[in-house]
Amino acid sequence: MEADGRTLVRDSTDWSRVAFGVALGAFAAYQQFKLPPILPDFLARYPHDPVIAAGFMSVYALVGLLASAPIGRHLDMYLGRGIILLFVLTVIGITVALVAPWSSPLMLASRGIEGLAFALAALAGPAIAAGAARPHDLPLVTGLLAGWIPMGQIAAALAALAFDDWRWLWLLGLGMTVPLAAWGWFLLGGARRGATVARVPGRRPDAAQHRALIFAGAIFLLWSAQYFAFMTWLTQYLTVVLALDRAAAVLAYLVPVVVLLTCSILTGWGLRHRLPLVPALTAALLGQTAIWFAQPWLSGMTGIAGLVIYGIGAGVTPACLFHLPHAIARRPAGAAFFGTLMTGRNIGVFLGPILLAELIGTGSHALGLGWTAGARIMAGITALAMAAALRLGPALRHS
């Protein structure tokens, strides 16, 4: 079940492996996003400090920040062991949370353990799916891969609607480990199938490519900071500020996620048919910036429209960002090319939810600026990502 350290250039796509890579990512995203839909009820039952509660999401990124680059350097060679470790860590993390949900340190530890599993999945999933694609299908596969976060979010939100008790969401995640592990063993443990492949030596980024990847990682940092702040606190905003009930808040939370998933796949299809990468990314970031600025005027039907527009931009953006390693490598990129990108993403995921909690919070250490001021600052972060995206062209040409 181990890789041999070389890149496979396929003349046909192994869609079963693509499906497993996407499913692995969606599973990890479910584990991370099972918290936001039930966060208001969870905090009502276990009154953790809001900044600590934001840390339940951000600790995922802290662990990923520390682990993504080292994992990326070695995962191509030890893919099977990494996936086994992923499932073991998931089981441990879920168990700790079920035992002590009232304890802030143990909940942080639980989410941190799950976060290490997430870091493994975030690199293993793209590496498996991209490695199973022929070059012509790679942009479409990238679009599917960009959808693994919303797939997990949708599954978590639907589970939150189906179950009144938060524990069922954790138990559902525990139950998913068995069929996924069996599927992975069947696909990766047996002989390679379904395509004639030519082996070429695998390689790590050279100096110019590494600089381009750092630039791409910085854009991912800025984008993910505002996106994960948005998705972590959206249900809290809908229930506290707009006074929606629990079911209505979760359904509204699903609007941008469903749109995001659709647009991620469509963007992958567009990239396959020569959609310009940098202009698409820049336009998507512009739309998200506008929605943050418009926050005070978004309620009712205009609020739904705003969620749709935000979802469109948030769907195009990750599809473009996840395609950047392939564009920089000028070939299907392995885990070594994704490590730097995911490090930037994880910094943003770590900072975003905590920053917004500090901006809007009312605790002793919070700034207490309110939702509107917090939204304006997030708009500035998104605009900075857009400005950086405009500089991507030269970075790609020199990679």
* pLDDT single digits (tens) 110-127: 999 999 998 888 888 888
Is residue 1 a part of any domain in this protein?
no
Is residue 295 a part of any domain in this protein?
yes
Question: Considering only 206-210, 223-227, 231-235, which range has the smallest mean pLDDT?
Answer: 206-210
Here the tokens at position 52 are 């600590």
pLDDT, position 9: 57
Structural domain of 166:
6-397
- Average of per-residue pLDDT across 41-56: 85
Q: For the domain that residue 27 is a member of, what is the CATH number?
A: 1.20.1250.20
What CA–CA distance (Å, rounded) separates 184 from 28? Answer: 14
Count of structural domains within the chain: 1
* pLDDT single digits (tens) 252-280: 888 888 999 899 889 988 988 888 999 99
Place of tokens 């934001």: 54
Query: What is the CB-side half-sphere exposure of residue 238 using CA atoms within 13 A?
Result: 27
Question: Considering only 24-33, 194-203, 287-296, which range has the smallest mean pLDDT?
Answer: 194-203
What CA–CA distance (Å, rounded) separates 134 from 243? Answer: 49
What CA–CA distance (Å, rounded) separates 385 from 141? Answer: 24
Is residue 142 a part of any domain in this protein?
yes
List beta partners, residue 279. none
Q: pTM of the prediction?
A: 0.74
- Average of per-residue pLDDT across 61-83: 77
